[in-house]
Amino acid sequence: MSSASEIPPVPAATPVPGWGAIVFAVAVASLAGVLFGYDTGVASGIQGYLQSYFHLSNAQLGFAIASLDIGCILGALLAGPITDRFGRKKVLLLCAVLFIISGLWSALPRFFWELVLARILGGLAIGASSMIAPVYICEIAPEKHRGRLAALFQLGIVIGIAVVYWVNYFIQSYGSGMAALAKWNQQYGWRWMLGSEAVPALLFLILLIFVTESPRWLVVRGRESQARDILTRFFGAVGAEREIHAVKEVAAQEEGRWRELLTAAYRLPLFVALFLAVFSQFSGINSIIYYAPRVFGAAGMQTTSAFGSTALVGMVNLLFTFVAIAYVDKWGRKLLLTMGTAIQVLALGSVGVIFALAQRSPLSVLAPGRVTPTALLHFSQGQVVLLLISVLVFIAAFAIALGPIPWIVISEIFPARIRGRAASTGVLTLWAAVFVVAQTFPMLKHSLGLTATYFIYAGCSLLTCLFAAFVLPETKGRTLEEIEAYWRRRHLAAAPGSPAGRQASSR
């Protein structure tokens, strides 16, 4: 019997005649990732202006930023059954419309509650599209290149973050140079930052018109002739028949209902999906992405240097995502995730040690860069450099492993008729974890200090490393139907009444 971490190999994939059409469809779907990164990254430039314009308390400001995550959770929850019923393309078109409305509305609010509703609407689009786009990509990609193509969604996210950082910088610089309107950024700058999202969202909407529906979804819904036309364009006539036969063979055994997720056959893949969703965020990635200037500021960097270092974080994130794209189908999900999380443990531990070794002096008043109300940290130049290197190593390790791989695995380990619901559950859990980390990091930083906080994140990365090494199955080079058949064989072999199950019980 195969172990839990092995899927038997299959013959090499046949050539892909319609490679250009596949790449175009994947690239368009990956624009959802760009909007995801754009909408989340824009918060780095608007916080101070929002607080000043609407006269917000810290709690209100936090709610304005976190309202996006609330929408993401709702979007991920609703997207599964909707996309299983109406198709991947139609729901992505709806998401594009929501992105446009959210961008324009968030640029024009007169009252605080309008801004919150606009952010929630954008979150709905992010939550839904972040579940649907990876599923769509996995369903149209040939198995030999599925990991590489699915990683383009994560590439889209980091591109969106990098682009919006520069958009924010340009708008802030323009506003700062307007001497006649000293408060231009406070009055209008943040509106342009938020509203600029409508431009890539409109491009996303237009390009979606020209992509096909998922052929696997069409087969499951009984629209075989339409699926055959698409698959023939992608894989040729012989490849199309092979794909249709494989999908129909497994679809005939499926119920396509929520309760199937909880059956014994899919208990392990569900656990895999939920674990990766939660621990990809419990690595502390958002404590760096959202709060990097504050972390670097706590190490004594000046404001300009802190924001410059943050921009460097974005560049490293982008660069090493290309490494993941290059090697995820060569080295496999399992090896990349094991290596990446092992490096994360060392990098996060290093960050914690650097903060532990910092000199502390008492404080009688509140001051910038403090870690607790009673102590101010002092770092040598060497410690500051080591901190920056450790953070960049962590970002690089995350970009090649925990960044793209959870999106890939969650989208490929479930059967076709429940893939939408299953992916929805995984992505919903991921967004809930995002919300938890974003809310708890400031509290952990204040109550435990940065040393203990990053040791906790290092411990979570260690658990993920062990999980990848001993539990996660390797799925590179397997069709979605072969992965589905693997879970069924494993379940049947483990059943007490089966020959394999009786043999296991007698040992």
| List of residues 6+ apart from 91 with CB closer than 8 A | 79, 82, 83, 128, 132
Nearest to 335, CA basis, from 487, 476, 461: 476
Q: Residue 309 corresponds to which tokens in the numbers above? A: 């270092």
Residues 180, 60 share a domain = yes
Residue 293 inside a domain? The answer is: yes
| List of residues 6+ apart from 467 with CB closer than 8 A | 275, 279
In one-letter notation, the amino acid at residue 42 is V
* Radius of gyration over every alpha carbon of the chain, rounded to an integer in angstroms: 24
Domain count for the chain, please give it.
2
Instruction: Give CA–CA dist 30/415, Å, rounded.
Output: 22
Instruction: Give CA–CA dist 312/309, Å, rounded.
Output: 5
HSE-up of residue 139 (Cα within 13 Å, Cβ side): 33
Residues 174, 98 share a domain = yes
Burial class (CB in 10 A: 0-12, 13-18, 19+), 60: middle
Residue 46 inside a domain? The answer is: yes
| Angle at 356 (CA atoms; ends 350, 358), nearest 5 degrees | 105
The residue count for the chain: 507
Q: How many CB atoms lie within 10 A of CB 432?
A: 18
Residues 284, 198 share a domain = no
Residues 197, 103 share a domain = yes
Contact 334, 5 (CB under 8 A): yes
Residue 482 inside a domain? The answer is: no
Instruction: Give CA–CA dist 427/333, Å, rounded.
Output: 18
Residue 237 inside a domain? The answer is: no
**pLDDT 10s digits, 399-453:** 999 988 988 888 788 876 677 777 778 878 888 888 787 777 767 877 888 889 8
Q: How far is CA 91 from CA 68, 188, 208, 394, in A?
A: 19, 33, 11, 35
What integer pLDDT is reported at residue 419 of this predicted model?
Answer: 73
Residues 168, 267 share a domain = no
Instruction: Give CA–CA dist 212/240, Å, rounded.
Output: 15
Residues 286, 181 share a domain = no
What integer pLDDT is reported at residue 5 of this predicted model?
Answer: 47
Residues 469, 344 share a domain = yes
Residues 270, 197 share a domain = no
Residue 40 inside a domain? The answer is: yes
Token pair 């237009």 is found at 206
Contact 418, 254 (CB under 8 A): yes
**What domain range is 133 assigned to?**
18-211
Q: How many CB atoms lie within 10 A of CB 349?
A: 19
Residue 13 inside a domain? The answer is: no
Domain of residue 200, CATH code: 1.20.1250.20
Residue 139 inside a domain? The answer is: yes
What integer pLDDT is reported at residue 122 of this predicted model?
Answer: 94
Identify the sign of the CA torsion 435, 438, 442, 448. Answer: positive
Identify the sign of the CA torsion 153, 159, 162, 168. Answer: negative
What integer pLDDT is reported at residue 158 of this predicted model?
Answer: 86
Token pair 């509140």 is found at 366
What integer pLDDT is reported at residue 61 of this predicted model?
Answer: 75
Residues 266, 182 share a domain = no
Q: Look up the pTM and report it.
A: 0.72
Residues 206, 104 share a domain = yes
Residues 266, 207 share a domain = no
DSSP 416-452: HHHHHHHHHHHHHHHHHHHHHHHHHHHHHHHHTHHHH
In the chain the first and final C-alpha atoms are separated, in Å, by 14
Contact 304, 372 (CB under 8 A): no
Each of the 507 residues of the chain gets a pLDDT tens digit; together they read: 444 444 444 444 445 557 888 889 999 999 999 999 898 878 777 877 888 889 887 667 777 877 888 898 899 888 878 888 898 999 999 999 999 999 999 999 989 999 999 999 999 999 999 889 988 988 888 877 777 888 888 889 889 988 887 888 788 777 766 655 558 888 888 899 999 999 999 999 999 999 999 888 888 888 888 888 888 888 887 778 887 877 776 666 554 566 777 777 778 888 998 999 899 989 988 777 655 555 666 555 554 455 556 667 778 888 898 888 888 888 988 999 999 999 999 999 998 898 888 766 665 444 444 444 445 666 777 877 888 889 889 999 999 999 889 888 887 888 766 777 777 788 788 888 887 877 777 678 778 888 898 999 999 999 999 999 998 888 887 777 777 778 777 777 766 555 544 443 344
Residues 203, 67 share a domain = yes
What integer pLDDT is reported at residue 96 of this predicted model?
Answer: 96
Cα torsion through 56, 61, 63, 65, rounded to 10? 140
What integer pLDDT is reported at residue 416 of this predicted model?
Answer: 65
Contact 88, 139 (CB under 8 A): yes
DSSP 244-270: HHHHHHHHTT---SGGGGGSGGGHHHH
Residue 488 inside a domain? The answer is: no
Identify the sign of the CA torsion 496, 499, 501, 506. Answer: positive
